[in-house]
Amino acid sequence: MKWFTPAVVLCALAQLCACARVLVVFPVASRSHTLLGDHLVNTLLHGGHNVTYITTFTRVKAAERLAVLDISSVTEHDTEQDSVSWVSELPWLPSARVLQAGARTAQRALRHPRVQALLADPAHQYDLVLAEWYYSGLLAPLAAVFECPLVWYSAVDACWLNVQLVHEPTSPTYFVDPMARSLPAMPPSVPDRLYRIARQAYLSTWVYYMTQYVEAPAYYEVYQPAMERRGRSPPPYEEAVRGGALLLLNSQPLLGQAAPLPHSAKYVGTHHLEGAQLALPKLQAIVEDAQHGVIYVNLGGAVSEQLPPETTQELLRVFRQLEQTVVWRHRGQLPHVPGNVHLLDRVPHLALLSHPKTVMLISHGGFLAYMEAMYHGVPLIGLPLKEDQFLTMDLVVSRGRGLRVPLSDMIGYRLKEAVNEILSNYSYRGNVKAVSQILQRPLVPASQELLYWVELVVRSEGAPHLRSPALRLTLPERCHLDVAAVLAMLAWFLTKVAKLLKVYWDDYGTDCDDLTDKKIE
């Protein structure tokens, strides 16, 4: 019994060490982003960790080890309508607007009084900062303030914009940004490669401008007082941004571009789908009575209400001609609604997708909706509007998992044609069922893998063994500009030597001719 008390003490100390203090920051005012943040927080809580959660709104139940910093007031002057009002401009400057929105979102969150109070109090200490990447690196210096490792979380698929946080920018030949309208052609043609390279150069210029002239001044304004209170000076902004230990990607190779990734980037997609409640308390009777199946329409947020009245009536006209029951997530009432169409303000999204009678999802084509449809084996028809939705739907169409319908004057005809194609062609359902079987049978559940990597970063104090050596290189070294300069100088030197040899050879030849002439004389 002499060893019993020390053993209990050691076990208690081990338990305390395993209980990390994690600061989770999800500043984007979107229910889809909040859904991911909520599940991530629940995963950390179930792992025994203490969590401080900065969010615009949350549905996480109150817990003893959870502190929520509500920053919802930052959205008072930023409506969802504002975010879709510039859809028509996307073909011209798609990503520049998103980069600006990302920096604006991060600045609003950091300037919120509750976040400022957190930064101003040196008593607050954390073992890890887990921040959502939304086209800005302004949340990264939180880790420098609290002197702890940083883990990034990206709600979108891997792209060179987020991978460069933990690695070098990847080739645009096979790895495009989320705002691209289509996947790279394979094998890529010369014009396609020229376009992709020019696009990445254009966006890189915008990233440089945002980093140096928008984010860097905000960085010193927000973080310098907090670091000075702790007796430190702020590091260079680029150093803070590229100091992340890990990048967690809400995707899977089967769903996204499946490009090669560094060791410090990990796929954790579908983590929010594990253990979800799949009950249909109010829709059970409607679904059970659907003899020909259910078509689920969810265009996301307030998009349905913002559609022109002519487009809405055109959609209802198409739905009226279908044998299937249509469940449309739509706020408010509409005139002349067919008997087979049910308008609902709230729909148990995952429960309806998982029901065997659901034969199709009509969505805006966002990556999260695509992931959820594939996880439950439901073909997808996408009506892309903005951001990554165009690229997502190109992924869907290219892999035979659904169809894309552009929002145009002929939307009724094209939507009816797409619905009939998916209902009559079993290959779409066969393809998504194959994807569903793979996603639902992973080697390790995604939430467990997520928790493992987060805890590894805490235990190893930043997981330096996963850090990419590319982060130690400067831009000239990564692009081999210095080597190119040496080769250019060598080429210049050799041309000069060649010219000297030519002059010498010409003079030598002339002298030889003169000697020959003298001998003949």
Q: What is the pLDDT of residues 318-366, one digit of tens each?
A: 999 999 999 988 887 888 888 888 988 888 889 899 999 999 999 998 8
**Bigger pLDDT: 255 vs 300:** 255
Confidence grade of residue 168 (pLDDT, cut at 50, 70, 90):
confident
Mean pLDDT over all residues of the chain? 85
Q: Are 223 and 116 in contact (CB under 8 A)?
A: no
CB atoms within 10 A of CB 84: 18
CATH class of 15-272+445-475: alpha beta
Residue 75 has pLDDT above 90, yes or no: no
φ, ψ for residue 57 (rounded to 5)? Answer: -160, 155
pLDDT > 90: percent of the chain: 51
CB 60, CB 68: distance < 8 Å: yes
* HEC sequence for 144-172: HHHCCCEEEEECCCCCHHHHCCCCCCCCC
* Neighbour tally for 393: CB within 10 Å: 28
Peptide bond into 260 cis (omega under 30): no
Query: Is the pLDDT confidence value at 184 over 80?
Result: no
Band of pLDDT at residue 39, cut at 50, 70 and 90: very high
Tell me what pLDDT residue 127 has. 95
- Helices within 22-124 (DSSP H only): 31-46, 80-84, 94-110, 113-120
163 φ, ψ to 5°? -65, -30
Q: Identify the pLDDT of residue 395.
A: 93
| 128 DSSP assignment | E
Residue 382 φ/ψ, nearest 5 degrees: -110, 140
**Distance separating alpha carbons of residues 142 and 119, to the nearest angstrom:** 8
Q: What angle do CA 226, 230, 231 make, to 5 degrees?
A: 115
Q: Are the C-beta atoms of 151 and 125 separated by less than 8 Å?
A: no
pLDDT at 182 over 60: yes
User: Can you give the pLDDT at residue 271?
Assistant: 93
Count CB-CB contacts under 10 A for residue 399.
Answer: 15
Which pLDDT does position 10 carry in this prediction? 35
Q: What is the mean pLDDT of residues 472-501?
A: 84
Please indicate whether residue 153 or residue 386 has the higher confidence score (pLDDT).
Answer: 153
Q: What is the band of 57 on the pLDDT scale with cuts at 50, 70, 90? A: confident
Fold match between domain 15-272+445-475 and domain 284-439: yes
Cα–Cα distance measured from residue 221 to residue 228, given in angstroms and rounded to the nearest whole number: 12
- Which pair of structure tokens corresponds to residue 102? 């990302």
| 55-69, 92-106, 269-283, 439-453: which is most confident | 439-453
* 368 has a pLDDT exceeding 80: yes
- The stretch 425-453 carries a mean pLDDT of 94
Mean pLDDT to the nearest integer, 133-138: 94
Looking up tokens 């817990």, which residue turns up?
Answer: 63
The sheet with strand 265-267 has its strands ordered as 66-70, 50-55, 21-26, 128-133, 150-154, 246-249, 265-267
Higher pLDDT, 392 or 12: 392
Query: Would you state the CATH architecture of domain 284-439?
Result: 3-Layer(aba) Sandwich (3.40)
CB crowding 471-506: b at 16 or more within 10 Å, else e = beeeeeeeeeeeeeeeeeeeeeeeeeeeeeeeeeee
Return the minimum-mean-pLDDT range out of 14-23, 50-59, 188-197.
14-23
Q: What was the pLDDT predicted at 515?
A: 55
d(CA 234, CA 140): 12
Identify which has the larger pLDDT, 436 or 179.
436
CB atoms within 10 A of CB 442: 14
CA pair distance 243, 147, nearest whole angstrom: 11
CA dihedral 178, 180, 182, 184 (to 10 degrees): -90
pLDDT at 87 over 70: no
pLDDT of residue 210: 93
Domain boundaries, the chain: 15-272+445-475, 284-439, 480-520
pLDDT band with cut points at 50, 70 and 90 for residue 510: low
Residue indicated by tokens 């390790």:
444
Q: Give the model's confidence band at 82: pLDDT under 50 very low, under 70 low, under 90 confident, else very high.
A: very low
Instruction: Look at residue 521 and tell me whether its pLDDT is greater than 90.
Output: no
- Here the contacts of 100-104 (C-beta below 8 Å, separation 24 or greater) are 100/210, 100/214, 101/134, 101/135, 102/134, 102/135, 102/136, 103/135, 103/136, 103/138, 103/210, 103/214, 103/215, 103/218
Please report the DSSP string for 255-309 in residue order. Answer: TS------TTEEE-TTGGGTT-----TTTHHHHHT-TT-EEEEE--TTHHHHS-H
CA torsion angle 160 168 32 326 (round to 10): 30
